[in-house]
Amino acid sequence: MKIIADLHTHTLASSHAYSTIRENCEIAKERGIKVIALTDHAPLMSDAPHEWHAANQHILPQVINGVCVLKGIEADIMNTKGELDIPDYVVGKLQWIVASFHGPVFPPMSEEDHLMAIENVCKNPLIDVFAHLTTTSYPFDYKEAAKLFSKYDKIVELNEASLRSGASKRENAVRLFNECKSEGVKIAIDSDAHYCERIGDFSAVLDVLKEVKYPEELIISTDLDYIINRANKNHPSAPKIDNSIMRI
Ligand SMILES: [Zn+2]
Ligand SMILES: [Zn+2]
């Protein structure tokens, strides 16, 4: 399996991360990653840049140092209604949106509340990916959630940083991704890198996927065309990405 994407990455614009876009792209290129998503935090996290940071990404080239760069954000799920902390005018400019539960914005609630929030985020067509869903503080019914991801065609991320830090237990990841496999859910392999050297480093994730035996055709991180087509289709008001942009 050749992984060519890392669709959850931070730059020093999120103040608890430490690398520039250029540094992230340099490491991505070295490791054969053809596309990364810039997903710095949305405004309600204390370390987040001002909302103008996300809105102004259209000034960046689509390809930096030979790597396709999706202009995105890691949005915070604010409540059980599935509302997110991104103003509408910013949402419309973005090419890739990751949604996360973060304690400072959505303090852990009951399993039913977590599932309700997930269901309502699923109904938002602009959300591409659920990030680090296997963290221990946000339990929910994995089987029911997998049915929702399949029904609404949402991508579920397996997140290297949360597995390594212990925020996600390995057994949670095995359980969730077994349910996702049963429901034919598409998944992404992401670093959630906060330093450039972590871009494209997926060893803990690959260890889980090996155990689960996830079907390769459901892993979007190997498929550049799928990623670019999805970004274009799901974000019609964002700058269009030319499909031939990474062809040699
Ligand atoms: Zn996060
Ligand atoms: Zn993150």
Which domains does the chain carry? 5-234 (3.20.20.140)
Could you tell me how many residues make up the chain? Answer: 248
Answer yes or no: is pLDDT of 59 > 80: yes
CA dist 7 and 17 (Å) reads 16
Q: What percent of the chain is predicted at pLDDT more than 70?
A: 99
Render pLDDT for 10-28 as a digit per residue (tens, 0 to 9): 999 999 999 999 999 999 9
Distance CA 235, CA 55 (A): 14
Q: How far is the CA of 234 from the centre of ligand 1 (A)?
A: 22
Mean pLDDT of the 153-164 span: 96
Q: What pLDDT, on a 0 to 100 scale, did the predictor assign at position 246?
A: 80
142 burial type by CB count under 10 A (0-12 exposed, 13-18 middle, 19+ buried) = middle
Centre of ligand 1 to C-alpha 144, Å, is 22
Neighbouring C-beta atoms of residue 210, cutoff 10 Å: 9
Mean pLDDT of 186-193: 98
State the ligand closest to the CA atom of 138: 1
User: Letter for the amino acid at 114?
Assistant: H
> How far apart are the CA of 237 and the centre of ligand 2, in A?
24
Residue 153 token pair: 């065609």
Helix, strand, or coil here: 57? helix
Q: Where are the alpha helices (DSSP H) in the chain?
A: 21-30, 51-55, 88-91, 111-122, 142-151, 160-165, 170-183, 203-212, 224-234
Residues surrounding ion ligand 2 at CB below 5 Å: 74, 192
Pick 211 or 246 by higher pLDDT: 211
Nearest ligand, CA 167? 1
- CA–centroid distance, 216 to ligand 1, in Å, is 25
Q: Categorize the per-residue pLDDT at 126 as very low, low, confident or very high, splitting at 50, 70 and 90.
A: very high
* pLDDT mean over 158-174: 95
For residue 248, what pLDDT is reported? 52
Using DSSP, state whether 174 is helix, strand or coil.
helix
